[in-house]
Amino acid sequence: MDRIWFGPSGNSSKFYEDGYKHSYQMPEWLRNMGLNAYEYQCNKGTNIKKETAEKIGEEARKAGIRLSIHAPYYINLSSSEEEKRENSIQYILNTCRVAKWMGADRIVIHPGSVGRFSREEAMMKALPVLAEAVKRADEAGFSDITLCPEVLGKMNNLGSLEEVLIMCRLDDRLIPCIDFGHLHARTLGSLTGIDDFNAVFDKIENSIGAERAKKIHIHFSRIEFTQAGEKKHHTMDDTEYGPDFELLARVLVERKTEPVIICESRDRMAEDAVILKGIYERVKNGCSA
């Protein structure tokens, strides 16, 4: 039987409006909404205290919530400065440490920017840095934590689908984080039909194999973009923006995938994660009828 996880990236505005204050209260709140995943945000740094991380992990286990963590945004595997590349490795290791405290099994990593390099030169900088991060994570006892390089939304970001898949070929433990909003934005709105989504999964399978492709990490939101790529995340109610989750859900069901799906809708990521789950279940039930 396939298994799939739905949850938010960080804490919705409604969480605070409902009177809650602490992230360790999120797991039960999410369970009561019918969700089973939570991506904790370390995007501004790994400053969380060990006891707080352990408390979130404890509450997540009680609530049946699968945890992942978003590593700091300022990681840049392809920086022209050796010190910044070394710092990026340390940020990844710090995030792994928090994941270990929390019981999270995946961390999401922004690869960085192209900067003044060509895309090929940026990749030549990034790949050995990521490989070294994997090696040091193993040495530090973090080999059970999956690193997920993310498809990014701006043209000047290092993190096209193809680039992320090349990164994931460095080690079997790497799994791509496919942000379909970002992919839609950086390809200027290419995800408009079911064939477009199937083509994405064909690329993933051909690159890293069917088994890892079944268990990818997914970010999803509707997204506004310009010629430079990603501009702004929107909610599921903002239907003038793509992509359409139902098309993705059909592909997920047909291919019997078991991904973690994290909603990144603006301010209402948990509520929209419930909507995504509902769409998926409708598609799944329709297909099996």
What lies within 8 Å, CB to CB, of 128 at 6+ separation is none
Mean pLDDT computed over every residue of the chain: 96
What lies within 8 Å, CB to CB, of 249 at 6+ separation is 276, 279, 280, 283, 284
DSSP code of 216? Answer: -
Is residue 288 scored above 90 in pLDDT? no
Band of residue 1 on the pLDDT scale cut at 50, 70, 90 = very low
Band of residue 289 on the pLDDT scale cut at 50, 70, 90 = very low
CB 111 within 8 A of CB 163: yes
Computed from CA positions of residues 193, 195, 198, 200, in that sequence, does the dihedral angle turn out positive or negative? negative
What lies within 8 Å, CB to CB, of 28 at 6+ separation is 59, 62, 63
Band of residue 259 on the pLDDT scale cut at 50, 70, 90 = very high
Is residue 280 scored above 50 in pLDDT? yes
Name beta bridge partners: 275.
Answer: none
Name the percent of the chain in helix, strand, coil, to the closest 5: 45, 20, 35
Determine the 3-state secondary structure of 260 from DSSP: strand
Is residue 61 scored above 60 in pLDDT? yes
pLDDT digits (tens, 9 = 90+) for 151-202: 999 999 999 999 999 999 999 989 999 999 999 999 999 999 999 999 999 9
pLDDT digits (tens, 9 = 90+) for 227-243: 999 999 999 999 999 99
Cα separation of 187 and 104, whole Å? 31
